[in-house]
Amino acid sequence: MRILLLENNFYIHTAIIKKLTAKGYKIDAFVDEKEALEAIDEGYTCFILSLNTHASQSMDILQKIRAYYPETPVIMMNVHEECELKLLKNAYMYGCSDFIKKPFSMDELEAKIEKLCHIRNDVVRLNAKCQFNFRTNMLQIGTTEKHFSRKESLLFNILFSNKNTLVSFETIKSVVWEGEGASLDSIRSLIRRLRQKIPYDCIDTIVDAGYIFRYNITTPNNFILQEVKNTRQFVSA
């Protein structure tokens, strides 16, 4: 996951880089707002911005981000207590996703990133005999295991974390490709590979919009695995 950080306080700047790099995130860090503005179109999964007293500059960069990334999480941090309320209202009006008040713990920032970016490290059950482990990127179907590539895992992550909700092409491109270019054909190809690995039909295509992962907590146990000509498929129980 690629994150843009804009923070001119050396201590906070360095602490955030150290913490998030240790988690495996790619951090592009800036202290100058103009340099950050020039870089925002390079592709990011999350933005962390220091909200300063120069309200127009802070709102300019937030609006530019929203022009490129309508849904990408933006976390803003305050600097001065006296200007907090006015800037906070403006920040939310222009599309801020969440706000963190200084001083804060790195664990608090990490938790906000994980929540907003739908980062999981748990095990989810798709039915009685099928589960996916986000820690190992492994889909277990009975006694059979299927490993997901990084992109497959990121795609499954964003789809499952937003189950029964439309996930747009732009969101998939931003999260899964982490700033790299991605065509619709590339997204469709990755979706096909994911469908081949998940042993039942659960990903709906919404034409010209994106995809929905269909999941009903009351129905997974109504499917059973069946071996048919050396392939696995689901049949209604």
pLDDT tens-digit readout, 58-72 = 778 888 888 888 888
In a shared domain, residues 149 and 205: yes
Residue 48 has pLDDT above 50, yes or no: yes
**Alpha-carbon span 74 to 65, nearest angstrom:** 8
Residue 49 · residue 6 · CB < 8 Å? yes
Using a pLDDT cut of 70, give the percent of the chain over it. 85
**pLDDT, mean of residues 71-98:** 78
In a shared domain, residues 172 and 69: no
Q: Which of 116, 148, 178 is the last residue of a domain?
A: 116
**Alpha-carbon span 30 to 57, nearest angstrom:** 14
Pick 213 or 224 by higher pLDDT: 213
| Helical residues (DSSP H) of 83-199, grouped into ranges | 84-93, 106-116, 150-161, 169-176, 184-197
Domain ranges, residue 199: 123-236
pLDDT tens-digit readout, 94-135 = 888 998 888 889 999 999 998 888 777 789 888 888 999 998
In a shared domain, residues 205 and 227: yes
**pLDDT, mean of residues 176-184:** 79
Q: Which of 75, 90, 116 is the last residue of a domain?
A: 116
Reported pTM: 0.67
